[in-house]
Structure 1
Amino acid sequence: MKILVTGVNGQLGHDVVLEGERRGIEMFGTDVASMDICNSEQVREVMTSFGPDAVIHCAAYTAVDAAEDNQELCRRINVDGTRNIALVCKEMDIPMMYFSTDYVFDGQGENFWKEDDEKAPLNVYGQTKYDGELVVQEFVKKYFILRISWVFGINGNNFIKTMLRVGAERGEVSVVSDQIGSPTYTYDLAKIVMDMILSDAYGVYHVTNDGLCSWYEFACEIFRQTGMDVKVNPLSTGEYPAKAARPYNSRMSKEKLRKAGFCMLPDWQDALRRYLCELG
């Protein structure tokens, strides 16, 4: 089997390629230099040349605040780029996996979001990721759409690395305490990604590590596990300056994933422990 992975230099794409290779699958990772997803002709040329049996589309514009000032670029990557890949997948009649986000919902209340709940993105990034979902559903018969949240991995920047750096520099951090979600380790995510792409259980799923916390609780656990003496100050969303609106409620139901027979991801605290060991 041959699988093409976009966004190989990102946190998720990096781990997906490694997991596929561990399973003996021929993986072809691309980045903007080898296949610019916004260039439809290049996408078709690279994909048809490699001849994949499936595509795992990890590439995306993910700078949430910057997206508010760069709406055209964000849309070109997250929507138009996704369409370019989806159209070739349609022509080749192969499965495509697309990664979306908890940001497609309005982030209110305390209920766990189900896959078919009403979509009401709060910001440009969330809207473009939802529009990307619609593109995939329009063109691809065999699609997987995985909504993920609060992602961290070895390759690239993330909340954990930021907390470790700022905590070491200042001995004190201020973190939002009223947004709730599930931190998700790309190493764990890559395993279920490969399980799914090798199946025919197509559809939309929510996939995160188990358990919930606020960003404040996440930060406290990072410093507890590392033994760092850092003061963590809780902030409300209103006290934290951010250009893009953020969801208060990122709880996502994984019942559909469980019913489909896939292995559930471990607790986020366990994922954090393993990640910190990997970071060294």
Structure 2
Amino acid sequence: MRILVTGGSGQLGSEWVQYLNRQEVEFISLSSYDFDLTDHADTRRVMGNLKPDVLINCAAYTKVDQAEEEPEKAFAINGEGVANLAGYCAEHDIKLVHFSTDYVFPGTKEDGEKLPGGYPEDHPTNPINVYGESKLAGEKALKESGCSYLLCRVSWLCGRYGNNFVKTMLKLGHERDLLKVVNDQHGCPTFTKNAVDLCWKLILQEEEGTFHLSSKGKISWYDFANEIFKQADVKVHVEPVDSSEFASAAKRPAFSLLSTQKIANISGAEVIGWKEGLKNLLSELNT
């Protein structure tokens, strides 16, 4: 099996590179500087030269607030870029593994009350910001392309590479005595190492369709911050506040929990608890 990883220098792509280095497979990793997936001709040239059996697409526009100011760029990468990849994969019988987000759902408090176990994979989508709309455009392009695909949604992504909430909290916790963290947005973190492991099992078992990859549990960002400082033994006071205290260009969902029931039913797949995932990540960051 020959694998191509796009977006290989990002948070998720870097995790894939480290993971595949430990597997007995041939793979190539390309960063966004190496490969412009929004360029139709460049897509065909690169894919034609490398001839992968599986394409793992980690390339994405992820600047949630900035997307409100530059929607064309967000849609070019998250929508049209995925359409380019999916079209080529459909023509050449290449399996496309693509990552999306909880932001494709409406994220209302009412949904949180009706869906205590989180959004199932087939729940109707209805994004509330440009970033979510652009990611949904990519999902639709993938499904309409006719290619063999795995669509993996993640939420609150955290890992040892790139920037994320855990790293930000650790940095601020060492700089300040008091932090304010929102307590009215609920979900559960996805840890990159676990997400990659789960996704790899889906690939090896030749699964297709949509899967949610996250952790077990339901928490607020405030809960998450407190546990980070507890496990890292950082002394800082965390004050719970409403989202209204933080001005942001993009509206944030109040409810982001993804149901992991479907992936939990896959042979050999282990959905870890969020506290265990955090413990593993902090251990990696300390090595």
Instruction: Select between 121-130 and 200-209 the one with higher mean Cα deviation.
Output: 200-209
Instruction: Tell me how far apart the structure 1 counterparts of residues 268 and 244 of structure 2 sit (CA, whole Å).
Output: 38
Moved more, 61-70 or 191-200: 191-200
Offset from partner CA, 1:116-155 (integer Å, 9 cap, x none): 1111101000011111000000113311111110001111
> Where does residue 123 of structure 1 map in the other structure?
129
**Paired residue type of 2:85:** I
Aligned residues of 1:189 and 1:265 also touching (Cα < 8 A): no
- The amino acid of 2:99's aligned partner reads F
User: Aligned to 1:186, which of 192, 200, 209?
Assistant: 192
Other structure's SS at 2:65 match? helix
C-alpha displacement of 1:92: 1.1
What amino acid is aligned across from residue 151 of structure 2 in structure 1?
Answer: I
The answer as to 2:229 corresponding to 1:219 is no
Asked if residue 159 in structure 1 is aligned to residue 165 in structure 2, the reply is yes
Partners of 1:19 and 1:194 within 8 A in 2: no
Alignment of 1:252 with 2:258, yes or no, is yes
TM-score of the two chains, using structure 2 as the length reference: 0.94
Residue of structure 2 in register with 1:25 after alignment: 25
Segments ≥4 residues shifted beyond 4 Å: none
Unaligned runs of 5+ in 1: none
Q: Do the aligned residues in 1 keep the contact of 2:87 with 2:147 (CA within 8 Å)?
A: no
Q: Does 1:175 align with 2:215?
A: no
Residue 202 of structure 2 is aligned to residue 196 of structure 1: yes
Q: What CA deviation, in whole Å up to 9, does each residue of 1:228-269 have, x standing for no partner?
A: 111111111222211111111112212222234351321111
How far 1:26 moved relative to its partner? 1.1
Q: What one-letter code is carried by the residue in structure 1 that aligns with 2:80?
A: D
Find out whether 1:53 has 2:59 as its counterpart: no
Counting aligned pairs with the same residue, the percent is 40
User: 1-side partners of 2:278 and 2:123: how far apart?
Assistant: 29
Q: Aligned residue for 2:212?
A: 206
TM, length-normalised to structure 1: 0.97
**1:39-88: per-residue Cα shift (whole Å, max 9, x none)?**
12111111111110110111100110111011011111101111111111
2:87–2:145 CA contact under 8 A, matched in 1: yes
Structure 2 residue 283 is matched with structure 1 residue 277: yes
| Residue of structure 1 in register with 2:69 after alignment | 69
Match for 1:234 among 237, 240, 245? Answer: 240
Deviations, residues 147-201 of structure 1 (Å, cap 9, x unaligned): 1100011111001111111121122211110111111110111111211122222
Question: Secondary structure of 2:27's partner?
Answer: strand
The number of equivalent residue pairs is 280
